[in-house]
Amino acid sequence: MTPLRMFRGALTLALTVVASLAVLRSDELLGAQRSATATISGETDGWASRTVSACDHRKAVVVEGVRSNEKLPPQKAQEVADLLSDLMRFCNEEVVARISIREKITLSVNGLPFVDYVQGGELPVELVHGKVQHTDRDRAIWKAELDREVAEGDRLFHSDELGTNGLACAMCHPDASNTHPETYPKFQTQLKKVALLRDMVNWCIQNPLEGKVLPDDDPRMKALEAYILVKRTGATLDPGKH
């Protein structure tokens, strides 16, 4: 066989291989497109779902067992509407609910994993910055910090160091009684203006205790407010009440 014939044979074989690879690649791309289309519509391997979104586009319900182009039965449609209305309570959250074929409801909040949900209840996860769930360790740390702040407020409330005449807040308000922090803001006749709780704390320091006013960002003011508010735990907020 001459060199020319050998060259032509090799060239023909190469072209045949390239053509075959092109056909395989074309089939692969077609398969990928079909798979993507099925995934978007929620129909893969016989599994089907339909997604219904709320008017704010931040809440959605995925209904399993219903194809994407299928109309929901009246009873199921009402169930979806009720669930969307329920989820609208959580205004600032991105919530996706899923109703399984077995009627189990799960929620994903702001991209977190799906967890069980009872309609009408609270969100099943607590959120912090960065979309991370609170841990028991987090809660223990935060409680310890709050307890420390309240304890300092308790100490100051029963101490005469805020004034100059020997009086202490607790002498007129044992256990923070008759402070009514839940009624602020409200108009205070002593100040002749609408006051916050801290304004009245300062009024008491300046007048009965004859002490110096505490700045709003003073750690002592924060501690006093924490103590007074905690002592009124459970009281109903009623701003403006006298």
The tens-digit pLDDT sequence of the chain (242 residues) is 565 555 455 545 554 544 444 444 444 433 433 433 333 344 444 558 899 999 988 999 999 998 888 899 999 999 999 999 999 988 888 899 999 999 999 998 888 888 889 898 887 765 545 556 677 888 899 999 999 999 999 999 999 999 999 999 999 999 999 999 999 999 999 999 999 999 999 999 999 999 999 999 999 999 999 999 999 999 999 999 98
Does 44 map to a domain? no
Supply the range of the domain harboring residue 61: 49-133
- Residues 6 or more apart whose Cβ sits within 8 Å of residue 214: 162, 198, 201, 202, 205, 220, 221, 224
Q: Among candidates 122, 125, 121, 100, which has minimal Cα distance to 110?
A: 125
> Does the model's pTM come out above 0.75?
no
Is there a single domain that holds both residue 116 and residue 170?
no
Report the C-alpha gap between 228 and 157 in whole angstroms.
Answer: 9
Is 31 a domain residue? Answer: no
Cα–Cα distance between 44 and 35 in angstroms, integer? 8
Residue 28 lies in a domain: no
Whether residue 197 lies inside any domain: the answer is yes
Residue 30 lies in a domain: no
User: Domains in the chain: how many in total?
Assistant: 2
Asked if residue 108 and residue 61 are part of one domain, the reply reads yes
Q: Which CATH number characterizes residue 206's domain?
A: 1.10.760.10
SS3 at position 197: helix
Distances (CA, A) of 152 to 145, 168, 228: 11, 14, 11
